[in-house]
Chain A
């Protein structure tokens, strides 16, 4: 069971995600470069990490969304593979059209770097199993995290239960309906602005609530593999 971690020029949370996968989940982290044309054999999930791909030029995530590796990620997403986009990874998934909506500059224009409360709205995704109704404390660190979707899209997101995380307490960045994370209609692609990989270990002296999302992913993959073995 291996999890691919994609690095774009300007990604800066890729090592953190690989650390979580390797040292906390005890699984193999497969490092993928943005020019790679295929995901490594054995990939069971993909993480697009945070950072400032291509310097956020044009729009955050815009150019990364056109990188060669995204064709393989689109294909994997279509086949149901779990794809997790964290912060810049969320922006990339929106720019790529794999998730609805877009991320705008924060309402107050500040780069926000603080802990935030996040409500888990739905547990039926590979990333939130067992977390229904929980409130997590996770760090956020972004300048362009204000989620936007037009009224029709919001209606669809609500009806299809695709709004997976909302900010609790004060809305830090002006996101519409305090949305912090959404999934696709298939529910296998999730993007979120908070950084679960930065809150996965008590040794850092803060919340380790982020580990729950990774453990959920691990359980989802193990369950999928069990089903595949049973079928073969």
Chain B
């Protein structure tokens, strides 16, 4: 009953469903079946609190910096950076999955916004 790997399976299921939704019927096959054509893409998801959402930790850091002799720093907003390595057949496909991950879990769109950038060059996935 108590299993430590439940979340990865749960998330994999969400992502699998999402792949079909985002990428269409072609994505119903497991990525493993296309291993020879897959590459690793690296994306950085940066999550920020929306403007107007109070950032209590950011304010505490700002006060701390002022106490360290940096009162010039008037505003501190703290975000979150999540680096993703995604095996995909194209950068567009990889980005779509990163987008899905951000919308589904990495950001809460009630209070946060996010942006995605590809952070370095593609590497081949070993067969």
Q: A109 vs B7: C-alpha distance in the bound complex, in angstroms?
A: 29
B80 proximity list for chain A (CB < 8 A): 58
- With known contacts A67-B10, A174-B54, A33–B108 Cβ distance under 8 A: no
Chain A 96-123 interface residues, beta-carbon cutoff 8 Å to B: 100-102, 104-109
CB of A52 to closest CB in B, whole Å:
15
A63–B101 Cα distance when bound, in Å, is: 12
Per the bound structure, the CA–CA distance linking A151 and B13 in Å amounts to 35
B73 touches A (CB below 8 Å): no
Residue B32 CB within 8 A of the other chain: no
Chain B residue numbers with a CB within 8 Å of A100 are 110
Residues 153-182 of A at the B interface (beta carbon under 8 Å): 174
Contact yes or no, B7 A63, CB < 8 A: yes
Residues in B whose Cβ lies below 8 Å from that of A68: 6, 10, 13
A67 to B80, CA, bound (A): 22
Partner of B52, one of A33, A66, A150: A150
Among B3, B53, B57, B105, the residue within 8 A (CB) of A35 is: B3
> Any chain B CB within 8 A of the CB of A21?
no
In the complex, chain A residues 19-74 whose Cβ is within 8 Å of any chain B Cβ? 33-35, 54, 58-59, 62-63, 66-68
> Could you tell me the distance between the alpha carbons of A108 and B56 in the complex, rounded to whole angstroms?
7
Contact-residue bracket for chain A:
20 to 34
The CA of A104 and the CA of B57, in the complex, are separated in Å by 10
The verdict on B22 contacting chain A, using a C-beta distance below 8 Å, is no
CB-based contact A146/B2 at 8 Å: no
Q: A106 contacts which chain B residues (CB < 8 A)?
A: 56
Of B54, B57, B60, which is in contact with the most chain A CB atoms at under 10 Å from its CB? B54
How far apart sit A106 and B54, CA to CA, in the bound complex (Å)?
A: 10
> A218 in the interface, Cβ–Cβ < 8 Å?
no
B43-55 contact mask (Cβ, 8 Å, vs A): 1 or 0: 0000000001110
Residues from chain B with a CB closer than 8 A to the CB of A9 are 6-7
Alpha-carbon gap, A104 to B58, bound state (A): 12
Does A94 sit within 8 A of B, measured CB to CB? Answer: yes
Interface members, chain B 95-127 (any A CB < 8 Å): 104-106, 108, 110-111
- Measured CB to CB, the residues of B under 8 A from A are 1-3, 6-7, 10-11, 13-14, 52-54, 56-57, 60, 80, 104-106, 108, 110-111
> Can you list the 4 inter-chain pairs with the closest CB atoms, starting with the nearest?
A102-B110, A102-B111, A35-B6, A105-B56
